Each structure stands twice: as structure tokens, then as C-alpha cells.
Chain A
Amino acid sequence: MTDFLQNCIDGVMFGSGYALLALGFTLLFGVMKRLNLSFGPSIMLGAYAGTWVYLNFSQNVVLVLLATVITTVAVGIYVERLCFWAVRRDATIASMVSSFAIWMQLEEVAMHLLPERTYPFPTFFTSTVIDIGPFFVRSEHISMFLLTLMLLALLHLFLFRTRPGLALRAVADNPLASAYMGINSSSILFLAFAVVSAIGGLAGFLILSADSQVTPYFGLWATFKGLIAMMLGGMGSLPGAILGGLLLGVVEANAFWYGGPVIRDISAYLLLFVMLIVRPGGLVGQRIVARQQAAYERV
């Protein structure tokens, strides 16, 4: 029982990283109803740029963070203009495949920047183990968790207290109606990509500095974890993305403890597969799916 609870604590701590990635996916999907496969790789390129600065230029963590976030945002905007803005709106598959082609491109650019397999990533947090009763928590995980919460609060303020946030939600809710209200959906798309890439860059920085290394697999990893967490929570739902990320973290931590790395990965996919069959709307998005299904049944 203590083991299980300990795993749950670890899972929640690490799951907060997944939650940030899932938030990015959910926001983008909500606004454009199209899937951006190169979200993970663009974060990876940002992290590579950060590492490059760290190795060649300065040991200053703030500079590394800035390089990571700025590069991620720049790459995100590149992806947005090339794969989503320029491609016809109804060509959803074309956008997705196009973002995949750019993924391949980004990976090669990253390999040119830093050709080795593994690089150290600057640790932002000092690592100490804190005892709480019978449980242990690593301090960098607590910092990551707290920073995630702060970021969430900021995002919430942006979405629900500012005019651009309102416009963004309007476009996500009904693109046609928001166009009639005079909202420029192209600039909203741009804004959404910039915000999401900034979140992604921060998430990448936090996850990697808790891991203290970066590998070329990070792009694939980030895209997968973000997608799984988003689908678990419910596509297009912000609270769902957070819950999905935490759930994924808890399940993975327990499966790893009891079964090892392969079992951990299999159980994550099994959970996703079963969730999609039983509750395709995820933890909180069931209502949206039910509404679509009802509209479909009426015809």
C-alpha cells in the first residue's frame, strides 16, 4: 500500500509534465480541429537550441530557458504558417501529413545542431529528497509540479480574463460565428500557436531539466505522451488535459514499479485503447461526444 501511494505521488509529479504537453495539444486541436504532429519535435528543437547555448555560450540557466522557449515559438510559427495557415482549411489530413513531413525536417536540423546521441541538459532545480511521513518526494519534482500549477493559472487568466483569450475560445467554439463577429481567425491561429509553443517550450525545459539529459527521441516521446494524455482526458477539454496527464503519470509510475519499462508502455496504450472504446470522450469530454452521437442518430 505504501508502495502504491508512493508511486501515485511520483506519478502525479511526473504527470504534471504530461499535463502541460496535453494542454498544448488540446488548445491547438480546439482552435483548428486539426492535429499538429510536429508539436513534440518543435519542442525538441527548442531544447536542442537551449542545450547548444548551454554548451557553447553560457551556463546561465535563464539564458538556456529563453533560448529553448524562443526557438520553440519560432519553430511553432514556422509550422503554423507552412502546414496550417497555407493549407486549405478543410484539408485536415493534408495538414497532418504536412506537419509530419516537417517533423522529419526538424529532426534532421536538430541532428545537425548536435550530432551526438545524448546531451546533458542543465538542471534548473537543486535535487534533494524530502521525507513526508513514510513517503519521499524529489524536490525537483515538487518545483516542476508547482511551476505547472502556476503556468496553468496564467493560462486560465489569459483564456478567461483577456480579450484575445475570449476570441480564441470563440474560434474554438464556433469558427463561423466568430468570423461573423469580426474575429480574424488567421491571427487567432497564429496567437494560439505562439502561446502553445511557449507552453510547450516551458514544459520541455521543465521535463528535460528534471531528467537532466536530452536525446533525439524526445520529439516522438513528447508528441506521444501529449496525445495520449489529451485523449485520456478528453479531446479539446482543458481540465481533461490536466486530469489525463496526471492519470497517465500515475498509471505509468505504478506499472513501472510492478512490471518494468515494457509493461509501463503497454499499460499506457492499453489504458488509452480501452478508454477510447468505453468512453471515447475521455474522463471529462463525454458530453461533447454524446452530443455529436445524438446529432448523428437523429438523421
Chain B
Amino acid sequence: MPNDYLLTIISNIGMISLIALSAYLLLISGEISFGQQAYFGISAYAGAIATTLWGWPLWVALLFGSSLAALAAGFVGLLTLRISGLYFSIATLAFAEMVRLSLFELTYQVEIDGELIGPNGAEGFGEIRWIFDNDVSVLEYTLVIYGVLLLVLFCLVLIERSPLGMIFRMLGQDPLLTRVQGLNPVRYKVTAAILAGFIAGLGGTLYAHSFTYIEPQMFNIMLGVHSLAYGLIGGLGTVLGPLLGVAIDIGFLESLRVIQGYRMIVFGGLVALMLIFMPRGILDENRVYRLKNAVRRWFRA
């Protein structure tokens, strides 16, 4: 059904937006993470195990998977954020690859209705049937995804308006300035990493249940670098930036089906050209500021 096809793309945009937002949160705090896909993947596996093998309800599994992801992110952050910059980026990459490769070795299968179900190394983890077992339609599940996304966006907007968000942005501009203010940069960066891990985790569990099949290869470095790129294409000035990036990438690539086989040549070139003129994305800080003022003036007049 073409309608379902469209819905799949829309729900895809929603789920990928979550990992893009997690990369964005770290980007505005001045850290580049090549490893958000690890938290996405950890939560995808944990959440899917919780519903399929242990029979937990989805929302509990969602919280469980994301908390586990946040825990892992906090652990990695504590270890690596003392030395930031490229060292952190490469350390997150190393961690994410270790997670992905370990998933190849992960086998945990339980017999359900005469069938062995569960993660089985490189074979992947199929039959994540929570949606079918609970008669959730594609439309309803898409609404669930967007509900979660809206909640996350709401929280991120609150954070950005709070002192915490201000400190994140300050860290991104100048970590030294943060230190002069008497604030401990490491503590705030770890906080940002934990929050980012949780958000990526939300996307992961939702993703596993939407696709009903996951394998380690889905959580490779390409997912991580793409999620970084989304924030930078869409813009680092507002939480809507990463969403715009995802929508442009997935939407644009879908509409470029006509020139199949040349999509990346066109798209890659366009992104590179765009970054020359807008190095902090379409909705960067200045543009967001000007837009906000314009809107304000519009309503005042």
C-alpha cells in the first residue's frame, strides 16, 4: 500500500531524528561524537529483548533500553571527556565499533511458541513482533514515535532556555570561559553525553520495533556520521535544525529516485557546497536569532 510506504518514510524520519538530536546536543556542547549509533544499538537490542523475550510492555522496555544507553554513555563520557576534542571523537568511535563487534558475538535465544527467538550474532535478531501481537497499526506506531519525538523536543527546548542549556552552549563556544565562571566543564559535558545517550536510546528501541528485525551491521559508523551531518546540515542554532537535516536527507533522497545511482554524487556535492556558505548549517545561531526577531516584530506591529 503506497500509504504505508509513505508512513514508513515519515516514521523513519522521526526515529532517525532522535539520534540526530542526540548528536546535536553534544555538538552544541562542543563535542563531536562518532559513537551515538552505539547507544542507538544498545537500546535497540535491550528494548527488543525486553518486549520479545521477557514480555514487558513497550513503554517499560523503552525506558529500560534508553536508561541502559544513558548508563553506557555516562560511563564512556566519564572515561573520555577529560581529554576532549578529537580524542573524544575517536574514543567514541572505538567504543561504538567495540559494541557493534560484540553484538556479532551476542547470542541469547529463548524458545517461544516452538521457535528460537532472540539475538543470534551475525544472523541478527528477527521476529520482534510486539506491534503485531498488540494490533498496533503502522499509523498508530508512527503517532507513538512522533509523540516521543515531541516530548524530547519539548524537553530540549526547556533545557535550552534553562541555565543548563546556556552552559552547554558556553562550553561549545569556549570551554575556558566556562572554567573561568567556576563551572566544571567535565561534569557538564558528561551530563550532555548522558542526556544524548538517553535520546539516542529512545530512537533505538522504537527503531527495533518498527523494523521487527535488527542486526549489528545496522549500527555501524555510517549511522553515527550521518546523525552528525544532519545537525550540521539543518543548523546548530535550534533543535529544529537536526529535524530539518533528516527531512532534507531522507526526503530529498527519496525524491531523487529518478536519478537512481547518481544520488550521492548530487547530494554529497550539494552538502559540501552548502557547508562552504553555511558552515553551521541552514538554521544557524544568527539566522535563528534574526528569524525570532522578525516573528516578534510581526506580532508587535
Contacts of A272 in B (CB 8 A): 90-91, 94
Stretch at the interface among B79-87, B148-156, B290-298: B79-87
Chain A interface, number of residues (Cβ within 8 angstroms): 43
Task: Report if A276 contacts B (CB, 8 A).
Answer: yes
Q: Which residues of B contact A35 (CB under 8 A)?
A: 86
Which size class do B's interface residues fall under? 35 or more
Partner of A276, one of B83, B221, B264: B83
Let me know if A299 and B269 touch, CB within 8 A: no
Within the assembled complex, what's the spacing in Å between the Cα atoms of A239 and B265? 37
In contact, A98 and B275 (Cβ under 8 angstroms)? yes
Cβ-based interface call for A161 (8 A): no
Q: Known: A35-B86, A100-B229, A266-B102. Contact between A277 and B276, CB under 8 A?
A: no
Residue of B nearest to A274 (CB): B94
Q: Which residues of B contact A280 (CB under 8 A)?
A: 83, 87
In the bound complex, what is the Cα–Cα distance between A220 and B80 (angstroms)?
24
* Chain B stretch 221-236: residues in CB contact (< 8 A) with chain A: 221, 225, 228-229, 232-233
CB-based contact A108/B265 at 8 Å: yes
Say yes or no: A277 contacts B275, CB within 8 Å.
no
Q: Are the C-beta atoms of B83 and A265 separated by less than 8 Å?
A: no
Query: Could you list some 27 contacts between A and B, CB below 8 A?
Result: A87-B275, A91-B275, A91-B280, A94-B232, A94-B280, A96-B32, A97-B228, A100-B225, A101-B267, A101-B268, A101-B271, A102-B269, A102-B272, A105-B268, A105-B272, A108-B264, A112-B261, A231-B90, A235-B87, A265-B101, A266-B98, A269-B101, A270-B98, A273-B91, A273-B98, A276-B94, A299-B179
Known contacts A98-B271, A105-B268, A299-B176; A86 and B262 CB within 8 A of each other: no
Distance of A235 Cα from B88 Cα, bound (Å): 13
In the complex, what residues of A have CB within 8 A of residue B83's CB? 276, 280, 289, 293
Within 8 A of B (CB), among A242-299: 262, 265-266, 269-270, 272-273, 276-277, 280, 289, 293, 296, 299
Q: Is A109 an interface residue (CB 8 A)?
A: yes
Which residues of the other chain, A, contact B265 by a CB distance below 8 angstroms? 105, 108-109
A269 touching B32 by the CB < 8 A rule? no
- Contact pattern, B 257-295, Cβ under 8 Å of A = 1, otherwise 0: 000011111011101110110011000000000000000
Kindly report which residue of chain B lies nearest to residue A297, judged by CB atoms: B179
Residue from B80, B228, B268, B271 in contact with A277 in the complex, judged by beta carbons closer than 8 Å = B80
A104 & B264 in contact (Cβ 8 Å cutoff): yes
| Residues of B19-42 contacting chain A, CB below 8 A | 27, 32
| Chain B residues with CB under 8 A of A117 | none
Docked CA distance A277–B263 (Å): 40
> Closest CB-CB distance, B245 to chain A, in whole Å?
10
B27 touches A93 (CB 8 A): yes
> Does B229 lie within 8 Å of A101, measured CB to CB?
yes
- Are A277 and B79 in contact, with the CB atoms below 8 A? yes
